Amino acid sequence: MKPQWQTRYRSVSHREYAESYDALVVGAGPAGIMAAVECARACKSVLLVEAGSLPREKSCGGMLNRYSLRALEPYGAVPECMVLDPRWITFRYFHMDRRVKKATNVRFLNVDRTLFDAWLLSLLPENVSVLAQAPVASVSQTPRGVEAYVRVRGEREPVLLRASYLIAADGPRATVRECLGLRPFDRYLTVQEYMRIEPGALEPCFDCVCSHAFPREYGIGYLMPKGPVAIVGSVFYPGTKHAERKHEEVLEALKRTYPLGEAVKREVWMAAHVRRPADLVAGQGRILLAGEGGGFLSCTSGEGISFALNSGIRAGKAVAAAVASGERDADGALARYERALAPMKRNLAFRMAMFPFMNSAWGKDVACVIPTPLVSKATEHL
């Protein structure tokens, strides 16, 4: 039986939307939902637009670190029904060639990602309307606000929506980012395989797996138990050809090391390849960028949920403060958001500086010989 909170959000039909809102939020992932929640504290009308269906399914490991849990504390306890076995998973570095495993002190709450997103939707207040299956076609700014053309299911032509502010949290697609004329991201290709496992067959670890035998386009791999299955993920560099076939080669190697059963599901997705501090953009004018669309995810670990939650909350609070103060200048919310993002930007810039070493063959070999406590300490910051 599905939890009752899955349906607790105000969905509007494709004929019920208004033409103008105080705030328009694009993308109903963690960044967009939290932005809408915070906007609604001061905005009378907020529309949350999602390109896909809801509740959505996101190709993701579904791991909540301490920063995610801390961000969620003001909104209530994470429901137990979405927590999987094992409850807590420890991050572990595994060099297959050298047979070196180094567990760290970094741990994650192990959740069902689909249920997690559905629970976040239930946090939306009454003054937030939700319009699903409505991808954004284009966005522009006027002296008085923002205009967005949205492809609404059932409408022959894109629908024009106006808002005083827009928060874009549209993930690696980054449609709004590109409408602003910003440099588009290169994108990693990600392949996730769900494989049956016997109860207790795997240690409660989130293994970051590397091997010199894997294809050269292979960035990193990961494996973790999720109840009756294990998620096995492969991340390939932008431009990789035949990623699924190369993923299957990796799977065959992993099957010789882990007790993995039959595959039950495969997901193929993408992730932003954020390489330099200039990729981290808060927005322009009355448009704020949150989550992956702003470049806010870890290039070293691939972790994005905590950055999505925290940037979404900050973007929503910035818009709410601007509306509450009656500001009409275009940069009021953006200036607040920029200030709030400063520590996150410094953190991500540090990760970018470390990434070339960490991702090199030499760096992976060095991790095998340095003391485990140092590996653990470095992982806490990366």
Using pLDDT thresholds of 50, 70 and 90, give the confidence band for residue 1: very low
Domain boundaries, the chain: 4-58+116-185+275-355, 192-272
Measured CA to CA, the distance from residue 267 to residue 246 in angstroms comes to 14
pLDDT above 90: residue 15: no
Model confidence at 12: pLDDT above 80 = no
How far is residue 149's CA from residue 161's CA, in Å, rounded to a whole number?
6
At residue 13, does pLDDT exceed 70?
Answer: no
Q: 192: which residues sit within 8 A by CB, 6+ positions away?
A: 59, 61, 231, 232, 233, 234, 266, 267, 268, 269
Over residues 59-86, the mean pLDDT reads: 94
Beta-strand relationship, 128-131 and 63-64: unpaired
Top CATH class of 4-58+116-185+275-355 equals alpha beta
Query: Token pair for residue 71?
Result: 């961000």
Instruction: Give start and end residues of each alpha helix (H) in the chain.
Output: 30-39, 66-72, 113-122, 175-179, 243-255, 305-324, 332-358, 361-369, 372-381
DSSP label at 360? S
Q: Are strands 83-95 and 205-210 parallel, antiparallel or unpaired?
A: parallel
* pLDDT tens per residue, range 281-338: 999 999 999 999 999 999 888 889 999 999 999 999 999 999 998 876 667 899 999 9
Cα dihedral: 168, 172, 178, 181 (round 10): 100
Residue 219 backbone dihedrals phi, psi, to 5 degrees: -80, -60
Q: Locate 15 and state its tokens.
A: 């004929």
Residue 10: predicted pLDDT: 67
CA dist 209 and 381 (Å) reads 19
Query: For 58-72, 161-175, 182-196, 355-369, which range has the lowest pLDDT when averaged over its residues?
Result: 355-369
Q: What is the mean pLDDT of residues 138-151?
A: 93
